[in-house]
Amino acid sequence: MTELIERPDTAADTPTVELSMQQAINRALRDLLTEDPDVLVFGEDVGTLGGVFRVTDGLQKEFGDRRVFDTPLAESAIMGMSVGLAMNGWRPVPELQFDGFAYPAIDQIVNQVARMNYRTRGATPMPITLRLPSFGGIQAPEHHGESLEALFAHTPGLKVAAPSDPADAYSLLLQSVRSDDPVVYMEPKSRYWDRRPVQLREPSDPIGTSRVVRPGRHATLIAWGAMVHRCQQVAELAAEDGVDLEVLDLRWLKPIDAAGLAASVSRTRRAVVVHEAPLTAGLGAEVASLVTENCFRDLAAPVQRVTGFDVPYPAGPLEPQYLPTIDRVLLAVQRTLEY
């Protein structure tokens, strides 16, 4: 078992640097490879090429091809190998190159990764972090724009993270890899190039904590991944109309921060949850249910959902029509205000 190591809080003397989300994840991987010799990074094209999104750029050169390596194009084998490595004391950080290619590995993820520790009564933890470039927004072909969070959040034994900006991408990845539980870490592809000043810091909030990225008083917009940015755009536009929206970044989709959701919505009394995945049985339903259970007496309106449609993720040119638009979110906000 991993022993608990005291880590000094270095946030105060960490300089602010300008980084894209790609670079922030790269830094996190480099810091993890440095701090723990058991960490291994592997997947299709992550070694020699440095990843199709440059996320693992330079890591093989720095840490060698025994710790950062390419695999065959076989997702089930990548996850099966992760299980074997974890059983033998390693801390694997596999990448499945695109969300849609998690499906060929689903048997290993659901039947082995998620259950091994349960099956062996806690004797065989699976400290695996599956890095999964996720969601749409880059006009990629089929299988390259899926939102699988509901599937993974519904699978007992898995934790699910979906950061929305470079700073969280860094600290959530540190938390995920250091966790002895398997984590599906969903990277919002359309935000990879988002550059901003970042203070790289040790995680300060426990796993399963949400974050208010913009405080407001009239309604709470709830999102994760790339939709946090969309909700921030909506909140800025709503402010021009005198409507003050709070934006809550859920960050962790399993466990979900029920207390954080309740604290926000009890104050604002209205909630709109926004996700890219299709509506039916999406995670928005879970969020709406938690809010209703915990804030029933405070709610001024039913929780609204703004989501993708119940169709397969469309080809590139139709993407702007599929993803929640600014106007669709604004209309949902208006419905809660008028109810």
Partner 1 sequence: MAEENITFALPDLGEGLVEATVLEWQVAVGETVERNAPLVEVETTKSAVVIPSPKEGRIVELHADEDQVVPVGDPLVTFAVRAEDAPQAGIVGRVPDEEPRPARRVRLKPPTD
Is it true that the peptide bond before 255 is cis, omega within 30 degrees of 0? Answer: yes
Between residue 171 and residue 190, which ones bind partner 1 under the rule CB under 8 A?
189-190
Token output for 267: 């104050």
Q: Say how far residue 289 (Cα) sits from the centre of its chain.
A: 21
CA distance linking residue 35 with residue 115, whole number of Å: 27
Between residue 287 and residue 316, which ones bind partner 1 under the rule CB under 8 A?
300, 316
| Nearest alpha carbon to residue 147 among 257, 279, 44 | 279
Task: Note if 143 is an active site residue.
Answer: no
Bridge-partner residues for 18, per DSSP?
197
Residue 233 contacts partner 1 per CB under 8 A:
yes
E-strand stretches of 176-295: 183-188, 195-199, 211-214, 219-223, 245-249, 252-254, 271-278
Residue 139 contacts partner 1 per CB under 8 A:
yes
Which CB sits closer to partner 1, 141 or 255? 141
Token output for 113: 């990764």
Provide the terminal-to-terminal Cα distance of the chain, rounded to the nearest Å: 53
Bridge-partner residues for 134, per DSSP?
188
Between residue 36 and residue 65, which ones bind partner 1 under the rule CB under 8 A?
51-54
Q: Report the nearest approach of partner 1 to the CB of residue 334 (Å).
A: 6
Q: Report the nearest approach of partner 1 to the CB of residue 159 (Å).
A: 27
Nearest 10 degrees: CA dihedral of 326, 328, 331, 337?
A: -80
User: What does the per-residue mask of binding to partner 1 show for 93-122, with x meaning CB under 8 A?
Assistant: -----x------------------------
Q: Report the nearest approach of partner 1 to the CB of residue 131 (Å).
A: 15
Total binding residues toward partner 1, as defined by CB under 8 A: 33
Contact 281, 295 (CB under 8 A): no
Contact 73, 44 (CB under 8 A): yes
Which CB sits closer to partner 1, 237 or 258? 237
Which CB sits closer to partner 1, 168 or 194? 194
Residue 142 contacts partner 1 per CB under 8 A:
no
Which CB sits closer to partner 1, 128 or 140? 140
CA distance linking residue 200 with residue 185, whole number of Å: 18
User: What does the per-residue mask of binding to partner 1 show for 192-211, with x meaning CB under 8 A?
Assistant: -x-x----------------
Helix (H) or strand (E) holding 334: helix 326-338
Which CB sits closer to partner 1, 93 or 138? 138
Q: Near partner 1 by CB under 8 A, which window of 138-146, 166-174, 290-298, 306-314?
A: 138-146
Using CB under 8 A, list all residues that contact partner 1. Answer: 20, 51-54, 98, 137-141, 144, 189-190, 193, 195, 218, 233, 237-238, 241-243, 300, 316, 326-327, 330-331, 333-334, 337-338
Instruction: Give the catalytic positions in this structure.
Output: 144
